[in-house]
């Protein structure tokens, strides 16, 4: 079939089957059934190691045993309800504490001190205060500000609940209170808030990125560095980056200017992208085992839904995993052993994005090369994490397999591997390939293998885009990469 008459519907189906995990979550989330057909395993002849036999486990049940019991300080602990009389007294203290009249300042100060003296009771009252729609935005935010520098587990719980609040000043104060907890356990829900279209206020996003950075997560660096080139956002980004650079590298000095600040920030960003962690110069506090448990438990609150049917939560969980650096990798490795097909699919997609940060999952991903239903995803992920022998494995698939979806998985893996040694093969294949689907993914892998491919690949992809001859979002993503 000629390129001009190629069926776009068939192209989309190929893309979805080969690489889009979102489509998988729309299927029944049950343990894996036997595959209806067996793919050829000729590529395994190119791998020195014999594929590991895969046996599914009920990882979700294992996690339930590990995490369901609420530990002290858990962020999903229920905030207690106060009796009506007690609640009225606490709310009266809040209204007095928020008084602005000159004659009321002494009473306001006393009320604030009383609220802080009975922290748990005060947070219960604060929950009711924030829930009352008659209280305006300013007073709701000022009520949260009473607890500045006075962290408490129940306050953390309340602030996490109000990260999605309709009023921006309330969201901003919640982020500030969460920063003061000095707990790594707040990372997952702060990360969720940075997902596209969730939090769009630059000041709040900046506060979240700073809070994450102070907790050891530098996923916001890429955005902050890009904002330096925007006049309307430079002030937000510059202030945040100056503070972050001081935590992780040589401090900013006035003579650095914007360009010097960007260079220092880029060094930190490169380390984060490569290793999934960056060490603080002078840690204010070393996370305890309890902190690590709270973090894993917060991850679990999302990961337990990874094989579920709520696509929004599935997407949120994948996003968190893709931006958590190496912090979620241990639990994601366990997901790869789960008996539920979609738990494994979605975990594999996270590793495709993590790249070499997820290399510790090499054994688990390699084991998923054997089952036909996970082979194509595993080929992709194995290349992206730079697994041992990945180049020979992936080139072996491309040279011997007649399965188009398997070849697309191998090409996607080569794109993540970014191997110059594959350049000549991909160049020759690009010029001889007849299938539009395969040629698109060959172009992507070829660009990743060396700069010499960029112009020809861009020209080809742009023509497909202009002719509406292939899946538009996929082409746009590839063209962005080809122009970097």
Domains and CATH numbers, the chain: 8-57+308-482 (1.25.10), 84-289 (1.25.10.10)
Residue 351 CA: distances (Å) to CA of 157, 378, 383, 466: 30, 9, 10, 32
pLDDT at 53: 54
pLDDT tens, position by position, 125-140: 999 999 998 999 999 9
pLDDT tens, position by position, 88-112: 999 999 999 999 888 888 999 999 9
The span from the CA of 151 to the CA of 388, in Å, is: 46
Higher pLDDT, 213 or 279: 213
pLDDT at 34: 41
Task: Name the percent of the chain lying above pLDDT 70.
Answer: 88
Give 54's pLDDT tier (boundaries 50, 70, 90). Answer: low
pLDDT at 7: 42
- The torsion region of residue 53 among left (phi > 0), alpha (psi -120 to 50) and beta comes to beta
pLDDT at 47: 44
Lookup result for tokens 């305006």? 136
Lookup result for tokens 């366990």? 334
pLDDT at 25: 36
Angle at 405 between CA 404 and CA 409, to 5 degrees: 115
pLDDT tens, position by position, 336-392: 999 999 999 999 999 999 999 999 999 999 999 999 999 999 999 999 999 999 999
Average pLDDT, rounded, for the chain: 88
Residue 332 has, within 13 A of its CA and on its CB side, a CA count of 31
Q: Mean pLDDT throughout 127-155? A: 95
pLDDT tens, position by position, 428-452: 999 999 999 999 999 999 999 998 8
The span from the CA of 114 to the CA of 391, in Å, is: 66
pLDDT tens, position by position, 394-406: 999 999 999 999 9
Contacts 24+ apart (CB under 8 A), 193-196: 193/163, 193/164, 194/219, 194/220, 194/323, 195/315, 195/316, 195/319
Q: Of 229, 314, 233, 235, which Cα lies nearest the Cα of 24?
A: 314
Six-digit token pair at 473? 């979002």
pLDDT at 154: 93
The phi, psi pair for 372, rounded to 5°, reads -55, -35
Six-digit token pair at 198? 């969730």
Q: Mean pLDDT throughout 212-240? A: 96
pLDDT at 29: 39
Give 482's pLDDT tier (boundaries 50, 70, 90). Answer: confident
pLDDT at 40: 40
Six-digit token pair at 105? 């300042």
Lookup result for tokens 């599914």? 56
- Asked if residue 455 has pLDDT above 50, the reply is yes
pLDDT tens, position by position, 7-48: 434 443 344 344 443 333 333 334 444 433 434 443 343 444
- Asked if residue 270 has pLDDT above 90, the reply is yes
Q: Mean pLDDT throughout 237-262? A: 94
């Amino acid at each position: 079939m000629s390129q001009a008459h190629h069926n776009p519907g068939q192209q989309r189906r190929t893309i979805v089957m080969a690489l889009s995990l979102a489509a998988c979550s729309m299927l029944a989330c049950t343990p894996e059934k036997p595959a209806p057909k067996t793919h050829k395993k000729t590529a395994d002849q190119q791998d020195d190691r014999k594929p590991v036999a895969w046996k599914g486990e009920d990882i979700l049940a294992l996690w339930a045993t590990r995490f369901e019991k609420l530990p002290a300080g858990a962020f999903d602990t229920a905030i207690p309800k106060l009796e009506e009389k007690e609640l009225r007294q606490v709310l009266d203290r809040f209204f007095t504490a928020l008084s602005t009249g000159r004659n009321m300042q002494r009473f306001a100060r006393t009320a604030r001190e009383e609220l802080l003296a009975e922290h748990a009771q005060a947070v219960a009252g604060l929950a009711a205060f924030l829930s009352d729609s008659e209280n305006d935005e300013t007073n709701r935010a000022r009520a949260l500000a009473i607890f500045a520098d006075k962290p408490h587990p129940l306050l953390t719980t309340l602030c996490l609940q109000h990260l999605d609040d309709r009023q921006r000043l309330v969201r901003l104060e919640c982020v500030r209170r969460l920063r003061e907890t000095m707990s790594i356990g707040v990372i997952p829900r702060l990360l969720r808030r940075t997902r596209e279209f969730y939090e769009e206020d630059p000041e709040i996003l900046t506060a979240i990125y700073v809070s994450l950075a102070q907790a050891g997560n530098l996923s916001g660096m890429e955005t902050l560095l890009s904002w330096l080139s925007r006049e309307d956002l430079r002030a937000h980004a510059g202030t945040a980056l100056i503070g972050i650079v001081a935590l992780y590298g040589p401090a900013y000095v006035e003579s650095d200017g914007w360009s010097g600040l960007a260079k220092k920030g880029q060094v930190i960003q490169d380390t984060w992208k490569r290793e999934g962690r960056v060490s603080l110069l002078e840690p204010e506090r070393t996370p305890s085992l309890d902190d690590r448990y709270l973090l894993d438990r917060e991850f679990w609150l999302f990961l337990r839904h990874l094989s579920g049917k709520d696509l929004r939560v599935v997407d949120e969980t994948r996003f968190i995993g893709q931006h958590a650096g190496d912090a979620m990798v241990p639990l994601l490795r366990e997901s790869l052993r789960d008996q539920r097909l979609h738990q494994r699919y979605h975990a594999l997609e996270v590793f495709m994005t993590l790249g070499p940060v997820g290399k510790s999952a090499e054994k688990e991903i390699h084991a998923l090369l054997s089952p036909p239903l996970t082979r194509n995803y595993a080929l992709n992920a194995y290349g992206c994490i730079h697994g041992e022998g990945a180049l020979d494995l992936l080139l072996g698939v491309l040279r011997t397999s007649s399965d188009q979806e398997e070849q697309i998985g191998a090409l996607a893996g080569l794109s993540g591997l970014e191997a110059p040694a594959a350049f000549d093969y991909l160049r020759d294949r690009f010029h001889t390939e007849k299938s539009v689907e395969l040629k698109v993914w060959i172009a992507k892998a070829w660009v990743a293998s060396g700069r010499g491919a960029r112009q020809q690949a861009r020209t080809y992809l742009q023509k497909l885009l202009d002719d509406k001859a292939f899946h538009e979002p996929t082409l746009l993503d590839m063209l962005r990469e080809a122009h970097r």
